[in-house]
Chain A
Amino acid sequence: MDKTLKTKESTSVSRRDFFKKTASISAVAAAGLLAPATLNADDPAIMHHTKWGTTLGDGCNYHPYGIPSKYEHNIVRRTSALMSSAGDMHAAISMTPLYAQKGIITPNGLHFTRTHNGVAHVDPNEWRLMIHGLVEKPIVLTLEQLKRYPSESVIHFVECPSNGAAEWKGPQFNSVQFVRGMMSCAQWTGVRLKTILDDLGLKPEAKWMLAEGGDGSEMSRTLPIEKVLDDVIIAYGQNGEALRDEQGYPVRLLAPGWEANLSVKWLKRLEFGDKPWYAKEETSKYTALTASGRAIQHFYALETNSIITSPCPEIPWTYLKKGEMIEIQGLAWSGYGTVRGVDISFDGGKNWVEASLKGLILPKCWTRFSYMYKYEGKPLLLQSRSYDDSGDVQPTVNQEKTVVGVEGVYHRNAIHTWEVTAKGEVNNVQVRS
Chain B
Amino acid sequence: MFKLDRKSILIGTSAFAASVVLLSGCGDSTSTGVASNTSKSCEIGVYKIIDKHAIDGGVIYARQNGVYTDYRYNQQSMKGLNYGRPATANEIKAWNVDALPDGTGLPKGQGSVEEGDELFEAQCASCHGDFGGGGKGYPQLTGGNQDKDENGIVKVLKNQRLLPGMAAPKRTVGTYWPKATTLFTYIRDAMPYAHPKSLTDDQVYAITAYILSQNEIKIDGVEMDDEYVLNAKKLTQVVLPNNNGFYPDIDGAKGPANVKAFFADRAKNIGMGTRCMHDCKDISKDGHGKMVAPSVFKIKYEMSDVVPPYAYARDLPPEVDTGLVSKGEKMYNTSCKLCHGTDTMGAPMVGDKEAWASVMQKGLHEVVHNAIAGTGGMPPKGGNADLSDADIKTIVEFMANSSK
A411 adjacent to B169 (CB under 8 Å): no
Confirm or deny: A324 has a beta carbon within 8 angstroms of a beta carbon on chain B. no
Size of the chain A interface, CB-CB below 8 angstroms: 160
Binds A, one of B109-117, B171-179, B362-370, B391-399: B171-179
Partner of A415, one of B255, B270, B273, B312: B273
Q: Are B296 and A430 in contact (CB under 8 A)?
A: yes
Contacts of A294 in B (CB 8 A): 153, 157, 245-247
Q: Does chain A have a CB within 8 A of B233?
A: no
- Residues of B91-127 at the interface with A, using a CB-CB cut-off of 8 Å, are 91-92, 95-96, 98, 100-102, 127
Name A336-356 residues within 8 Å CB distance of B. 336-341, 343, 348-352
Cα separation A354 to B61 with both chains bound (whole Å): 26
In-complex Cβ contact of A429 among B297, B311, B315 (8 A)? B297
Beyond A10-B304, A90-B338, A174-B299, whether A226 also contacts B55 by CB under 8 A is yes
Q: Mark A372-407, 1 if CB is under 8 A from B, else 0.
A: 000000000100010101111111111111111111
CB distance from A146 to the nearest CB of B (A): 8
From residue A188, how far is it (CB to closest CB) to chain B in Å?
Answer: 12
* Contact in complex: B279, A350 (CB < 8 Å): yes
Tell me if B95 and A338 are in contact (CB < 8 A).
Answer: no
| Nearest chain A CB to B292 CB, angstrom units | 5
Interface residue B87 (Cβ < 8 Å from any Cβ of A): yes
**How far apart are the CA atoms of A393 and B5 in the complex, in Å?**
14
Query: Assuming the A-B contacts A80-B305, A81-B305, A430-B296, are A394 and B273 also in contact, with contact meaning beta carbons closer than 8 angstroms in the complex?
Result: yes
B60 adjacent to A74 (CB under 8 Å): no
Chain A residues with CB under 8 A of B55: 224, 226-227, 300
In whole angstroms, what is the CA distance A295 to B156 when docked? 13
Partner of B182, one of A140, A283, A391: A283
A429 neighbours in B (Cβ, 8 Å): 296-299
**A224 x B307 contact (CB < 8 A):** no
Q: Is the CB of B245 within 8 A of A139?
A: no
CB-based contact B85/A140 at 8 Å: yes
Q: How far is the CB of B386 from chain A (nearest CB, A)?
A: 13
B145 at the interface (CB under 8 A from A): no
> How far does the alpha carbon of A70 sit from the alpha carbon of B319 in the complex, in Å?
11
Instruction: Please provide the chain A residues from 254 to 288 with a CB less than 8 Å away from any CB of chain B in the complex.
Output: 257-258, 268-269, 271, 273, 275-280, 283-284, 287
Point out the residue from A86, A146, A362 that lies within 8 Å of B127, measured CB to CB: A86
**A336–B58 touching, CB < 8 Å:** yes
Q: State whether the Cβ of B220 lies closer than 8 Å to any Cβ in chain A.
A: no
- The residue that B271 contacts in the complex, of A195, A212, A404, with Cβ under 8 A, is A404
> When the two chains form the complex, which single residue of A82, A87, A132, A276 contacts B250, counting CB atoms closer than 8 Å?
A276
How far, in Å, is B120 (CB) from chain A's closest CB? Answer: 17
Q: Out of B102, B272, B274, B297, name the residue touching A171 (CB < 8 Å).
A: B297
Instruction: State the CA gap A25–B310 with chains docked (Å).
Output: 11
- List residues 3-55 of chain B with CB under 8 A from any CB of chain A: 3-4, 23, 44-47, 49, 52, 54-55
Known contacts A297-B250, A335-B56, A433 near B285 by CB under 8 Å: yes
Within 8 A of B (CB), among A99-119: 116-117
Say whether A392 contacts B272, CB under 8 Å.
Answer: yes
* A314 contacts partner chain B, Cβ-Cβ < 8 Å: yes
- Which A residues touch B280, using CB under 8 A? 349-352
Are B284 and A2 in touch, CB under 8 angstroms? no
Picked from A14, A70, A363, the residue with its CB within 8 Å of the CB of B69 is: A363
Closest residue on chain B to residue A431 by CB atoms: B294
B243-276: CB near A (< 8 Å → 1, else 0) gives 0011110110001100110010010111111111
- Residues of chain A lying within 8 A (CB to CB) of residue B56: 227, 257-258, 300-301, 335-336
Does A96 belong to the interface (CB within 8 Å)? no
Task: For the complex formed, measure the closest distance between the CB of A147 and the CB atoms of chain B, giving whole angstroms.
Answer: 9
Take A141-B83, A226-B54, A283-B182 as given contacts and tell me if A86 and B138 are in contact as well, using a CB distance cutoff of 8 Å: yes
Contact residues in A for B182 (Cβ distance below 8 Å): 278-280, 283-284
CB-CB under 8 A for A402 and B284, given A175-B310, A198-B78: yes
- By beta carbon, the residue of chain B nearest A279 is B182
Say yes or no: A295-B193 contact (C-beta < 8 A), given A28-B314, A78-B307, A140-B87: no
**Which of B137, B186, B296 is the one whose CB lies under 8 Å from A431?**
B296
Q: Are A393 and B284 in contact (CB under 8 A)?
A: no
A173-B303, A419-B296 are contacts. A88–B283 as well, Cβ < 8 Å?
no
Does B59 make an interface contact (CB < 8 A)?
A: yes
B336 CB to nearest chain A CB (Å): 13
Any B CB within 8 A of the CB of A325: no
Q: Could you tell me if B314 and A396 are in contact, using CB atoms closer than 8 angstroms?
A: no
A278 touches B181 (CB 8 A): yes
Provide the residues of chain A in CB contact with B149, threshold 8 Å.
293
Residue in B246, B277, B306, B314 whose beta carbon sits within 8 Å of that of A72 in the complex: B314
Min Cβ gap B195→A in Å is 8
Q: Are B312 and A22 in contact (CB under 8 A)?
A: yes
- Do residues B45 and A338 form an inter-chain contact, with CB atoms below 8 A? yes
The contact string, 1 if C-beta is below 8 Å from chain A, for chain B 142-175, is: 0000000100011101111110000011010100
Q: Which residue of A lies closest to B285 (CB)?
A: A433
Q: Output the least CB separation between A332 and chain B (Å).
A: 11
B293 interface contact, C-beta 8 A: yes
A171, B247: Cβ atoms closer than 8 Å: no
Which residue of the partner chain, among A28, A178, A430, contacts B306 with CB atoms under 8 Å? A178
Neighbouring A residues of B300 by C-beta, 8 Å: 7, 170
Q: Is B308 an interface residue (CB 8 A)?
A: yes
A8 lies within 8 A of B301 (CB): yes
The complex places the Cα of A97 from the Cα of B246 at a distance, in Å, of 35
- In this complex, the member of B162, B260, B310 whose beta carbon has the largest number of chain A beta carbons within 10 angstroms is B310
Assess A87 versus B342: contact at CB under 8 Å? Given A195-B78, A216-B190, A433-B283: yes
A217-B189, A341-B3, A385-B273 in contact; A390/B317 too (CB < 8 A)? no
Given contacts A85-B138, A171-B298, A295-B176, 12 further A-B contacts (CB under 8 A): A10-B304, A25-B313, A74-B311, A139-B86, A140-B84, A199-B81, A199-B83, A271-B96, A295-B245, A352-B277, A363-B61, A401-B284
Listed from nearest, the 7 A-B pairs whose CB atoms lie closest are A361-B45, A336-B58, A139-B84, A403-B271, A398-B284, A218-B189, A293-B158
20 contacts between A and B (CB under 8 A): A18-B302, A18-B304, A28-B313, A138-B87, A172-B303, A173-B302, A178-B303, A178-B306, A226-B55, A293-B153, A293-B169, A297-B246, A300-B55, A340-B4, A351-B280, A357-B45, A392-B266, A399-B282, A407-B160, A419-B296
